[in-house]
Amino acid sequence: MKILSGLVVSEYILEGICDGLKGPLKRSPCLVFVLVGHHAPSETYVSMKVKACEKVGMVSKVIRLEETISKLLLEEMILEFNKDETVDGVIIQMPLPRHLEQIPLLIAPDKDVDGFTPTNMGKLVLGDLNGLIPCTPQGIFYLLRHYNISLENKHVAIMGRSQIVGKPLANLLSLKIPFANASISLLHSGSKDLKAITQTADVLVVAIGQKEYVDASYIKQGAVVVDVGIHRHQGKIYGDCQKDSLSLKASAYTPVPGGVGPMTIACLLLNTFCSYKQKFKEAGSSRLVFDRHLLTRTS
């Protein structure tokens, strides 16, 4: 079973960003993180993203707020970031208290580096790749592309229909572009004959948030498996899939950790880089030109 290393591919993306930031700059790109409350996993995720920013030469700012912050006050803060010409990307780290859950929708589309606002989601649905594409789906696409896994005329089954992974990934991988153009089955807990569908898939993407739920009985011989899940249990990290079981049938697999996770962070910085370049309309600002450059790098 071939291991599809997100650590390796994410380094190519980060190197590309570093190359793009060499030479005289009007200023360094800036990414703002907003943390509400005291959620330990969120602190860990933001810390990893901040370190990645430092690695490529981006400025990062972390704003920590109490859970009791009013909706009005946070709205005003986001609107100020939207107007701030020194800020290129804004992330409101999830999860949020219930009274604040709609706040991320206020982020300006050109600073929505998570790619979750209606404008960027809508562009993806329409096949307009000049928007900011959600980071995890984008990372999965680059990971498969790097390892020369074309989805042309292939069946991709996606377990999980979240707004963060499943739905945007289905739209991205079904686009008529090189290495995509797949037929998609978007599955969820209510899907009938689930295994009958996943066993016909050439590529199975598992994003259901259940520790080691999927084993070899879900896949056909030679399938590629992308494990999006991450779970911490008794000091160890697990995915949504049982790696040892899958090794009996899968031809390739994304490890946990070291698979999709690093790709998500790399694509977050890529989105920030593209937002920055578009702001100054510099040469090479088109995300498609830059992405093609990245995608030509092969292992």
Single out the catalytic residue among 93, 110, 249, 291: 93
Cα–Cα distance between 13 and 5 in angstroms, integer?
13
From the candidates 110, 112, 114, 240, which is the catalytic residue?
Answer: 114
Catalytic residue among 49, 123, 167, 243: 49
Taking Cα atoms as reference points, which of 175, 135, 115, 139 lies closest to residue 11?
A: 139
Torsion from C-alpha of 185, 265, 297, 241, nearest 10 degrees: -40
Question: For residue 252, what is the DSSP state?
Answer: E
167 is catalytic: no
DSSP letter string, 48-111: HHHHHHHHHT-EEEEEEE-TT--HHHHHHHHHHHHH-TT--EEEEPSP--GGGTTGGGGS-GGG
Residues 104, 42: Cα–Cα separation, whole Å: 16
Catalytic annotation present for 202: no
Cβ–Cβ under 8 Å, residues 136 and 165: yes
Q: How many CB atoms are located within 10 Å of the residue 49 CB?
A: 22
Contact by Cβ (8 Å): 63, 123: no
Q: Known catalytic residue: 220?
A: no
Question: Please, are residues 172 and 133 in contact by the beta-carbon 8 Å criterion?
Answer: yes
| Partners of 157 in the β-ladder | 185, 204
Q: Whose structure tokens read 């999860």?
A: 95
Q: Active-site residues: which are they?
A: 49, 93, 114
